[in-house]
A and B are shown apart, each in its own frame.
Chain A
C-alpha cells in the first residue's frame, strides 16, 4: 500500500510521556506518540492496551496524570472536549456519541456555533453538501435511531469534518462494518489524509492496519512499544509486538461429521425493544457437534434471536426445539433443564450479577444442587466453584469478591464455566470474545471447539467475521431480521458474506 514519506517537520500531533492511571491500573504508562499531517497513522494494540485512553486524552475527554500534548507545534492543556475540538481534533468514538431521537443534521450541528433559532432546511442542505463532497451516503433528515450502525458511523465522521477537524481519530471503526463498508471507509480515510489532515486509526486487526496505514504505533499493556512504517513491518512482527509473544492466527479445528439436528428454530417472528420487527421468519438448525455461526452487522436481529431461544423474549410465532422437544412455550428454567446453555452478549447483567462473587453466581443456576432443604449448602457450592475456577483457569483474588472486579476475560471464562458445568446439549453464545485480550480470546475459542468436538450443538453469534470463519462449520448471515443464507465456512468467501450482511441474498447455487 501507499507508504509516502510524511516528512519530518510536519507534526500534527505530538504526545510526550503520557501517563494516565485509573483505580488499580496504569492505562497509559509514559507513552510517546506523534502523527504527521497527510498520513494515516494506525494505533495498534490488543484490547485493554490503552489505545482509547490515549486518544481520549488527545481529544480532551480525559486529563493526563503526566505528559504533554501538543497540536500543530503548540503545547495544549485541554480541560474539555470543546477545547480539543477548537484545536482541530475530531474523534469518532467506538460507542458513538449520537443523540438517538435527533436527526442526522441536528447531530452534526450539535454544539457547533450557529444561530439561536434552528434553521431546519438550511442546515440539512449544508450537511448534504459536505457529505457529498466526501462521497458519504447518508440522509440528513433521517433520525439516528432509524440508521444502521454503518450509517451512524458516517454521521460521526461528518460531525468531525463539519468542525473542520485537522486530526481525525477513529476508534476501532471497522468493528461494526461489513467488509465492503470497511473498504469504503478506508477510501474516505485516505481521502481525508490527502487533504493534508492526519487520520489516526485505532485497531487491533493486523490486516486492516497493513491495508490502510502509512505508519503504525504499537501499544502493549499501556506502553508504546514501537513506531514503524508499514513498509518495514509485516503481520507476524506486528502481532509479536502487540501481544509480546508468538501468536497463532488460526485455532486448530478437527474435522469430523456433525450429528443429527439438536437445536432447531422454525419461522421465528419477534419484535425488538422498540416494538419494531426484529426477527422476520428465522429458521435455523444446529446439529450436534457443529458450530453454526451467525454473522451480521450489529442490530440485525442477532441479539433478539438468542433471547428468544433462551426464553427471555417472547416470539410472536415460530418454534424453538432442542433434541426434537418443542420448547416454544417453556420458561427459561425449563429450557435449561432441557439442556440449553446460554452465554449472553451482556455478560455482566444478563450473564452474571456484577455485585455477587463467583460462588453466588455459579450457584444461581444450580440452586437445587446446592440446597439443603430450605437452606443453602455453602460448602458444596464453594467446593464446586473452586473446582470450576481451577478447571477453567479463571483468575480471581477471591471467590467471594464481586465478579465485576475481575477482568473481562475472567468474567467470560467464569460464565462459560457455569454454563458448561451443567453439561448442555445445545449452547447459545453471543459475542464471546468481544473486548477480550488475545490470551483470553484463544482460551474461549478453544473451549467452544472442545464443546463442538464433544458433540454439543453450538450457536455462535459474533460480529467478528474472522472469528466465525475460523471456528464455525457453517455460517448463517442475518440482515434485518432475516437469514440471507447459510454458507459452509470452509472456503467461504468473505466478500460474498459481506454482501449478504448488507442485504444481498446468497444465490442458491
Chain B
C-alpha cells in the first residue's frame, strides 16, 4: 500500500470520525453527571433529519445545524424528565428512546428521502495551517463542522476540568449525596448535562446528513450512536482521549472503503461490519483492565438520586 493511500485514509478517517466525536463528547458530559443516555442513536437520527429538513426548507446550512442541536436537546430534555424527575430505569428509557426517535425521524423525513440537499458542508482549507505537511492535509482541509468539533472538544475539556460548574457536574456524577449536602442542585445539574448531551447528539446527526453523507435516509446513523457509547468507555470518560478513539474508529471505517476502492477484493458487507467488529474487540480489551475503568467511571452512573432514600 502506498503512503498516499494511508494519507487518504487518515483524511477520510478524521472526516468519518467526527460524527463519533460529537456524539461521544456529548455522552461524556451526560455520563459525567451520572446519567446514562443510551438514546444516542435515536437523538442522532432526529438531529440528522431535522438538520436536513431545515436546510432543505430554508437553504441555510447553519440554521439546519442549530435546529438539529435544538431537536437533540429536546429529546435530551425528555430523557432527563423521565430518568431524573420520574426516576425511570435509565437503560430501558434510553433503549425506548432509540426506537421512538427512530420512528419519529423516519416519519418526519418521509418526503425528503433521497432528495438532494440544496447546500452541503464542503472542505475549506485553513490558510497557513493547511500548508503543514501531512497534518495540514489531514486536519486542516476539512469541512467547517470538523473545525467546530476541535473547538468543542477543547471547550468541553476546559469546562469539565477547569471550571467550577464542571467540578460541580463531576461531583454530581460521582457522589450526588455529597453534591447535595454542599448545596449543588443534583436535579438541575443532571438536566443540564442530559440536555447538553442531547444537543451534541443532534449535532452529530446534522454532521452526518449535511456534511459526511449529505442526504436523508431512514436509519442512516447505522449504529454509530452505539459505537459512540462504546467509545466513551474506551476514552475512560475523557473528551481528549475521545478524539483519539473517534479518529481510530473513523479510520477503520475509511480503511475498508479505500481498500475496496483500490481494488482489494473484500465483500462490502464485510467492510461495513468492520467498525462494529472493532468495537467488540476494543470493549473486550479495555474490560480486562477493570481497576482502571472502575476508577474512571463516574461512581453513581446510572443511579437515580433521592434525598431521603438510603
Instruction: Knowing A82-B183, A100-B299, say if A110 contacts B294 (CB, 8 Å).
Output: no
- Cβ contact of A111, chosen from B179, B295, B308, cutoff 8 A: B179
Stretch at the interface among A66-74, A113-121, A308-316, A444-452: A113-121
Q: State whether the Cβ of B174 lies closer than 8 Å to any Cβ in chain A.
A: yes
Bitwise interface map of A from 53 to 64 toward B, beta carbon under 8 Å scored 1, else 0:
000000101100
A509 to chain B, nearest CB (A): 40
Instruction: Knowing A98-B178, A99-B175, A110-B178, say if A62 contacts B308 (CB, 8 Å).
Output: yes
Q: State whether the Cβ of A395 lies closer than 8 Å to any Cβ in chain B.
A: no
A101 with B295: CB separation less than 8 A: yes
A109 to chain B, nearest CB (A): 8
A165 to chain B, nearest CB (A): 12
A110 with B179: CB separation less than 8 A: yes
- Cβ contact of B178, chosen from A85, A97, A117, A273, cutoff 8 A: A97
B181 with A118: CB separation less than 8 A: no
A194 to B166, CA, bound (A): 38
Q: Closest residue to B178 on the A side, CB-wise? A: A97
A505 to chain B, nearest CB (A): 29
Residues of A within 8 A of B295 (CB): 101, 145, 274
A86 to chain B, nearest CB (A): 8
A115 to B165, CA, bound (A): 10
Give A77-110 interface residues, CB cut-off 8 Å to B. Answer: 80-82, 85-86, 91, 93, 97-102, 106-107, 109-110
A61 with B167: CB separation less than 8 A: no
Residues of A within 8 A of B175 (CB): 97-100
Give A112-170 interface residues, CB cut-off 8 Å to B. Answer: 112, 114-118, 145, 159
- Cβ contact of A117, chosen from B164, B170, B182, B183, cutoff 8 A: B164
- Cβ contact of A81, chosen from B162, B168, B170, B181, cutoff 8 A: B181
Q: Closest residue to B298 on the A side, CB-wise? A: A101
Bitwise interface map of B from 180 to 201 toward A, beta carbon under 8 Å scored 1, else 0:
1111100000000000000000
Instruction: Knowing A99-B175, A115-B164, say if A110 contacts B182 (CB, 8 Å).
Output: yes
Residues of B within 8 A of A91 (CB): 181
Q: State whether the Cβ of A324 lies closer than 8 Å to any Cβ in chain B.
A: no
A97 with B181: CB separation less than 8 A: yes
Instruction: Knowing A111-B168, A111-B182, A273-B294, say if A99 contacts B174 (CB, 8 Å).
Output: yes
**Total residues of chain B contacting the partner, CB 8 A:** 27
Instruction: Knowing A62-B308, A110-B171, A275-B291, say if A97 contacts B182 (CB, 8 Å).
Output: yes
Q: Can you offer 29 A-B residue contacts whose CB atoms are under 8 A? A: A61-B180, A61-B181, A61-B307, A80-B183, A81-B180, A81-B183, A86-B183, A97-B175, A97-B181, A98-B178, A99-B171, A99-B179, A100-B174, A101-B295, A102-B171, A110-B168, A110-B179, A111-B168, A111-B183, A114-B164, A116-B164, A117-B163, A117-B164, A118-B167, A274-B294, A274-B295, A275-B290, A275-B291, A276-B291
Chain A positions within 8 Å of B, measured between CB atoms, are 59, 61-62, 80-82, 85-86, 91, 93, 97-102, 106-107, 109-112, 114-118, 145, 159, 273-276
Given A97-B177, A273-B291, 12 more pairs with CB closer than 8 A: A62-B308, A80-B180, A93-B181, A101-B295, A102-B174, A110-B171, A116-B164, A117-B164, A118-B166, A274-B291, A274-B295, A275-B292
Chain B positions within 8 Å of A, measured between CB atoms, are 162-168, 170-171, 174-175, 177-184, 290-292, 294-295, 299, 307-308
